[in-house]
Amino acid sequence: MIRVVIIDDHAILRRGLTQIIAESGNMQVVGEAETSADAMRLLRDKTCDVVLLDISLPDRNGIETLKLIRKEFPALHILMLSMHPENQYAVRALKAGAAGYLTKQSAPSQLVSAIRQVTEGRKYVTPSVAQELANSIGEDSERPQHETLSIREYQTLCMIASGKNLTDIARHLSISVKTVSVYRARVLEKMRLKNNAELTHYAIKNQIID
């Protein structure tokens, strides 16, 4: 029996994932957590094989949580779940130690297949993610500017380009508006852009947002 822990702050989604996993026949959900802090406490208490980890948590983003889990529980297989398109976070997640990356729009059969695959010690990547990984190999000298950003800076870039204001971003990331302003300034400086309009244009041009 494959034991799964779900880390996601949306109760309805957790319930749906639990049902999909229960219907698979050879796996079960042994624990759930809504925040990064709760997840770490749960994983110290529960034995599991696979972690389904949301990339957007209330107290700490999923990539940072992934790194914490990998450091304390290196044998765990971690599948990242996200509402964000693969081209935004998949390569970052895999390079940070994730065993795979799935969008929340994925079919139930895809989720079950991914869980089984990572339990066997293999990575789970879709063809589009495999292409993203291939493109990233040996490109350090020609890396797109946005790949030099930290996770928080990248999140700020994506949300500004999507039309969110600083207050919206602060609420979404559970940080202060002042901190968001600092991230915005860093993004503009690193990417040598002048304002939000240029930032949005860059995001569209590089297919960071639709």
Domains of the chain and any CATH numbers: 2-136 (3.40.50.2300), 141-205 (1.10.10.10)
| Short-list 67, 71, 111, CA closest to 93 | 67
d(CA 189, CA 27): 48
140, pLDDT greater than 60: no
Q: How many CA atoms lie within 13 A of 171 on its CB side?
A: 5
Q: What is the DSSP letter of 102?
A: E
Residue-wise pLDDT tens digits, 109-126: 999 999 999 999 999 988
Question: pLDDT category, 138, cuts 50, 70, 90?
Answer: low
Please state the length of the chain: 210
Structure tokens at 106: 């994925």
CB 180 within 8 A of CB 110: no
Q: Give the number of other Cβ atoms within 10 Å of residue 163's Cβ.
A: 10
Give how far Cα 6 sits from Cα of 24, 48, 52, 141, Å: 16, 10, 5, 38
d(CA 9, CA 58) in angstroms, rounded, equals 7
For the segment 140-144, the average pLDDT, to the nearest whole number, is 56
Q: What is the DSSP letter of 101?
A: E
Query: What average pLDDT does range 76-99 have in this prediction?
Result: 84
